[in-house]
């Protein structure tokens, strides 16, 4: 069998590399989702960077829009934007399937090249065996990891936390902030109301007292004039 693979060393190497990458990619995605599911059980104290980023985005979106109308859509968008390095998780998931197909393709090309070199059935049989075993392992790992199912569970947990816990906390925080602002406004108004009477009292004190219209001498003169006017 090894001698058969050595005859088409490049294609055989690519076949095994693509096969291993496909299986390891599925396992990696399954472990990623499983770890995130475990962390969602304690979202308030989670140390997972992706979940922390999700919480931060939700808080910013809530404060900018004064609420999040559709939390499931928000979670779907976030899960679709998740990345493994420069590649998104969805693209990585599809690449795992494509690498499996590339492994089968390399095996088929190696079989065709061996047949053109007048190789017998037993000479090309190892390629068929590896291809069938690779496909079986790929689908077996996919079933065990259940990536779509784990993604669904993760979405349910995130929606439950954000909708039933995080939203309520943010709403309560907004109410407390509004109450504090109203209290500050009241205190400032009271302070201004206390200052105004003082200023008016000071202004009244500073106002000059009206002088008497007539002095005592003027009153006597006025009485004499009236008496003279009446005696006339």
What are the backbone dihedrals phi and psi of residue 136, each rounded to the nearest 5 degrees, phi first? -65, -45
Q: Which residue in the block uniquely carries the two structure tokens 């939390």?
A: 71
What is the Cα Rg of the chain in Å?
Answer: 44
Range with lowest mean pLDDT among 57-66, 84-93, 102-111, 135-144: 57-66
**Percentage of residues of the chain with pLDDT beyond 70:** 80
- CA 30 distance to own-chain centroid: 22
Dump pLDDT digits (tens) for 115-128. 887 777 777 888 88
Rounded Cα distance between 134 and 100, Å, is 8
Other Cβ atoms less than 10 A from the Cβ of 143: the count is 10
């Amino acid at each position: 069998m090894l001698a058969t693979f050595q005859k088409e060393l490049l294609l055989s190497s690519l076949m095994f590399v693509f096969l291993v990458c496909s299986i390891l990619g599925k396992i990696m995605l399954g472990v990623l989702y499983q770890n995130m599911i475990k962390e969602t059980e304690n979202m308030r104290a989670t140390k997972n960077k992706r979940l922390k980023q999700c919480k931060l985005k939700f808080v910013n979106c809530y404060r900018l829009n004064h609420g999040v109308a559709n939390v499931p859509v928000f979670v779907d968008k976030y899960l679709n934007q998740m990345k493994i390095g420069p590649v998104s998780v969805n693209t990585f998931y599809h690449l795992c399937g494509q690498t499996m197909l590339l492994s089968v393709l390399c095996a088929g090309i190696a079989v065709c090249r061996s047949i053109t070199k007048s190789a017998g059935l037993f000479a090309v049989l190892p390629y068929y065996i590896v291809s069938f075993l690779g496909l079986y392992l790929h689908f077996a790992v996919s079933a065990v990891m259940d990536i779509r199912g784990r993604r669904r569970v993760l979405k349910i947990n995130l929606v439950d936390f954000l909708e039933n816990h995080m939203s309520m906390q943010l709403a309560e925080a907004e109410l407390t902030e509004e109450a504090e602002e109203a209290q500050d406004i009241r205190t400032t108004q009271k302070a201004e109301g206390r200052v105004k009477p003082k200023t008016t009292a000071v202004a009244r004190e500073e106002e000059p007292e009206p002088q008497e219209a007539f002095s005592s001498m003027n009153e006597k003169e006025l009485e004499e004039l009236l008496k003279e006017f009446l005696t006339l």
